[in-house]
Amino acid sequence: MKRSHLWTWALVVTGLWSVGFIYNVYLSGYASWLRTMYVVKSRLVEEIDEPQIIVAGGSGVQYTINSDVMAESLGMPVVNFGLNGGIGLDLLLTTMLEKVRPGDIMLVIPEYSFLLNDEGTDTLSPTFGIVIGRPGLGGIPIKEVLETTVTLGIPSVRPLIKTTQDIVTEGRLDYYGDPLTSRGDATIELPRNSAWWKMPIRSSISQHSINSLRQFKKDIEARGGTLVFSLPVVYGSDDQDTIANIQKTADALSEIAPTLYDKETLNIYDNSDLFADTHYHLKISERTVRSEQLVRELQMALPQFSVASHDVEGK
């Protein structure tokens, strides 16, 4: 009887965990949002059968560009592949490399959380690998993968509340995220609920990031693609340490591949009114301005776009 009870409890626990895992990864919550973003944007890239520009990074890409503006000005399809800074640089590069086909341009705009990290992984790295069906991606230790897998079978309170609201207000389950355009851009503007402060950048790009990006460039070119970097826009501090660290980062990136940024401002913005909820997320109206900046910089950096300079003249 005791052994029978143990098996019963084991089946109950396994069943509850399975329900929780399915809920977290496929129905609602942050893990579901991350998986859905990756799956949807991968599909957008795969559906394009001609050379394209893939703009990769974290949410600092997701909420800062207007891909339609860029595509129209450059005469080339553009896909917004912004995900989340918490997945870490190594996992971002690994998954982005798989998307590149001959003639593609990979424009990487990494938040400083990507670049300053000296390990290449971050808080969401294990979760990201699991939800896209590749546990351990990026060399995550098996113990950490197992611990994260167990955690994903335990729904947290916040997603449960949101799911209840979705069912009551919309009559359906929805993932925790926002609708995307046909090019992968965000369609909403998230509000900020706390006071603003200018973000300092305490260090420059790590040697690990430099090594990873150097190898990424070689791998991109081996697949027939072109790699370009851009500094992210940020509501940042103007203290000398921040300026020096960003300049060192820009110089290091420029030694690897063309790097786009305003040489005077280093893409540091001093007006918080331009930003939505975080130091990297722009308001919808400003995403067009930022995209026009990227267009001009790409036209100056890459010869294939130089003939289109009149398209953005005067903007």
35 touches 132 (CB < 8 A): yes
pLDDT tens for each residue of 215-227: 999 999 999 999 9
Give me the torsion for CA of 126, 132, 138, 144, rounded to 10°: 20
pLDDT for 33: 84
Q: CA-CA-CA-CA torsion for 231, 233, 238, 244, nearest 10 degrees?
A: -10
On the question of pLDDT at 281 being above 50, the answer is: yes
Segment 136-164, tens digit of pLDDT:
888 888 888 888 888 877 766 555 555 55
Q: Which residues pair with 282 in a beta bridge?
A: 275
- Amino acid found at 262: D
Is the pLDDT confidence value at 67 over 90?
A: yes
Report strand pairing: 268-269 vs 234-235: parallel
Can you give the pTM of this predicted structure? 0.88
Sequence spans of domains, the chain: 2-309
Whether 125 has a pLDDT exceeding 50, the answer reads yes
What is residue 263's three-state secondary structure?
coil
Please report the pLDDT score of residue 315 as a whole number. Answer: 35
Fold of 2-309: Rossmann fold (3.40.50)
Q: CA nearest 89: which of 20, 36, 145, 138?
A: 138
The pair of structure tokens assigned to 229 is 């970097």
pLDDT of residue 309: 42
Report the pLDDT value the prediction gives residue 264, as an integer from 0 to 100.
96
> Could you tell me the maximum CA-CA distance found in the chain, to the nearest angstrom?
82
C-alpha closest to that of 132 among 183, 98, 101, 161: 98
- The answer to whether 57 and 111 are in contact (CB under 8 A) is yes
